Amino acid sequence: MSAIHELSVKALQQALQTQQLSARQVTEHFLARARNHGASLAHLASDMAPQSPSPSTPGSKASCGAFLSMNEAHSLKAADESDRRIQAGQARALEGVPIAHKDIFVTQDFPTTAGSKILAGYRSPFNATVVSRLQSAGMVSLGKLNCDEFAMGSANENSAFGVVHNPWDHTRIAGGSSGGSAAAVAMGLTPAATGTDTGGSIRQPAAFCGITGIKPTYGRASRYGMIAYASSLDQAGPMARSAEDCASLLSVLCGPDIERDSTSLDIPSADFTLGLNQDLQGLRIGLPKEFFAKGLSDDVRDSVRAALDALVRLGAQLVDIELPKTELSIPVYYVLAPAEASSNLSRFDGVKFGFRAQGYKDLDEMYLKTRSEGFGAEVQRRIMVGAYVLSHGYYDAYYVQAQKIRRMISDDFQRAFSQCDVIAGPVAPTVAWKLGEKSSDPLSNYLADIFTLPASLAGLPGMSVPCGFGEGHMPVGLQLIGNYLKESQLLNVAHRYQGVSDWHTQLPGSAA
């Protein structure tokens, strides 16, 4: 048998069910790895105070900064319960398989910070629905994972508790905002993780770290207990090594939650594993010319094209399509998302929970100092942009117009799906860049989301599938976008591709 941390979710399921491995043995193994290679900056700090990350070198086994908190006693207790259930013949769907959660989901047994100083020390009285459903399926929670503050970022450099390093090269970003989730899976610190995708925050870090991740149709997974950034865009999804693993996780994670989440679709979950291994003969894959235009690096283009050729050999046919509003997705997103964020984040003021500034004279000054000291620069920037576009005199000029263009972007996709079944292209224009390379230029960070934003604005399902390596031997991701509620079709295409490729099985040297 391979080392425990090299096993897929499915392989772990089988080993646990046949009692070749115990849940406690598996959990102890991953906890040790997380402690030695993934514990960040703050995980042992009692006050969760922001710290600077320690330097590391490419390929080193230094911490990647993925984990923000762990509760080993709780994790081992859950593992023992899984062992008891397995021995009693009462195993649930994912009994004993470990998972770690992006720190944007509230949890009773671990602190929840959303990567922000303003929530330092906060403990939720309840679990997010996504967390509860995975626990109810028997999964063992290992801890909480680093993320850009309030999920705002494309590099995981905006966390108040330090950056996340890419396991393939510790001098590069892991991607964001779910960079901790992607790095933890890639480095073998957990076999699976939860992430959230507002404008590409599952797909982009999955691509940069060489793993598989899927964002389902908006509303397919409950947002209850997921700390809101942009409510009309945020969506939870799983991250793992393979499409098959993501299918197992998504089957549990999805489902209606209409009593607690007004954005939840009243559509039963499905067993997405049943749709795998379907024939691709005659499948029409649309290639938007806008996704392959100037600005796409040659190394990414070559890897994506090679993956498309493999799908053609499996029976698919390529169709040229157009998504003409693609270039407008960036300004539309950076009007709408900050507008929603300025409203959602107004609740963090130091009154009831989290960080409160010291040395204020009155309530107004307490608000001002708490938010100035508690929020990072990128969060403050987006709050200010959002407040501006919603202000009197600018609401009609910016926010309303952005909503109109959002509808046009959705219409572009529907016209495209009349010509094809699935849309494919790159996840990002380049491979992961160097840490700090774009920190002083927020706009260049925003431009890196050009290929992921359109599907998010339209509320469509999308995923990233490892498809090769580019400059610096850094992973490249193939993006697959489906029509509404077509997650099963996307997972099948990805699974069939992974059946004839091995990019998703390759591990970074730091994962040894």
What's the pLDDT at 40?
A: 60
Whole-angstrom distance, CA of residue 481 vs CA of residue 477: 13
CB 69 within 8 A of CB 144: yes
Q: Is residue 151 part of a domain?
A: yes
Q: 65-105: per-residue pLDDT in tens?
A: 999 999 999 999 999 999 999 999 999 999 999 999 999 99
> Which residues are known to be catalytic?
102, 177, 201
Eight-class DSSP state of 67:
E
> Which residues are within 8 A (CB) of 292 and not within 5 positions of it... i.e. 6 or more apart?
301, 425, 426
Q: Is residue 123 part of a domain?
A: yes
List, run by run, the mean pLDDT of 10-residue segments along the chain (512 residues). 92 97 98 86 42 37 86 97 98 98 98 95 95 98 98 96 96 97 98 98 98 98 98 98 98 97 96 96 98 95 98 98 97 97 94 90 94 96 96 94 98 98 98 92 85 98 98 98 98 98 94 79
What's the pLDDT at 484?
A: 98
What's the pLDDT at 49?
A: 42
Q: Is residue 349 part of a domain?
A: no
Bridge partners (DSSP) of residue 261 are none
Q: 398-415: per-residue pLDDT in tens?
A: 999 999 999 999 999 999
Give the total number of structural domains in the chain: 1
Q: Is residue 338 part of a domain?
A: no
Q: Is residue 351 part of a domain?
A: no
Tell me the pTM: 0.95
pLDDT > 70 in the chain, percent: 95
What's 455-492 look like in SS3?
HHHHCCCEEEEEEEECHHHCEEEEEEEECCCCHHHHHH
Eight-class DSSP state of 50:
-
Q: Is residue 225 part of a domain?
A: yes
Residue-number span of the structural domain to which 468 is assigned: 4-44+62-325+410-511
The CATH number that applies at residue 479 is: 3.90.1300.10
Q: Is residue 372 part of a domain?
A: no
Q: Is residue 53 part of a domain?
A: no
Q: 187-234: per-residue pLDDT in tens?
A: 999 999 999 999 999 999 999 999 999 999 999 999 999 999 999 999
